[in-house]
Amino acid sequence: MKNLFVIILRYIVKPEEMDIHYSGHVKFLETHYKSGHFITSGKQMPEYGGVIFTNSPTRKEVEKIIEKDPFFIYDLAEYQIFEFKPTRYSNEFQKVVNKDE
């Protein structure tokens, strides 16, 4: 299985400021689900950030994708990118990740 990337967002502004750009962030997510870049995403609990699993081939591509997120554009969140090699996974997960191979 190829390497994957995990994007961790940590909100750095008040929730009211996040709400202003939330619909733009959702459109950003939808765009990258349609392109096949994103596998899953969601809010951290408690709600102080988010997590995105991406199928992007390189870290540079992940960085370019992040630059289009309104949360990045308006400096509402900090981002960390982790690359990892899955070594154990369910058959269902493998089908999702390797669907284009």
Report pTM.
0.89
Q: 4-97: CATH homologous superfamily?
A: Dimeric alpha+beta barrel (3.30.70.1060)
User: Would the pLDDT of 16 be above 60?
Assistant: yes
Give CA–CA dist 63/58, Å, rounded: 9
* Domain assignments of the chain as residue spans, ordered by start: 4-97
- For the stretch 42-65, pLDDT in tens is 999 988 999 999 989 899 999 999
For 63-88, what is each residue's pLDDT tens digit? Answer: 999 999 999 999 999 999 999 988 88
Element (H, E) at 83: strand 77-84
Residues in the chain: 101
Sheet holding 49-54, edge to edge: 38-43, 49-54, 4-11, 77-84
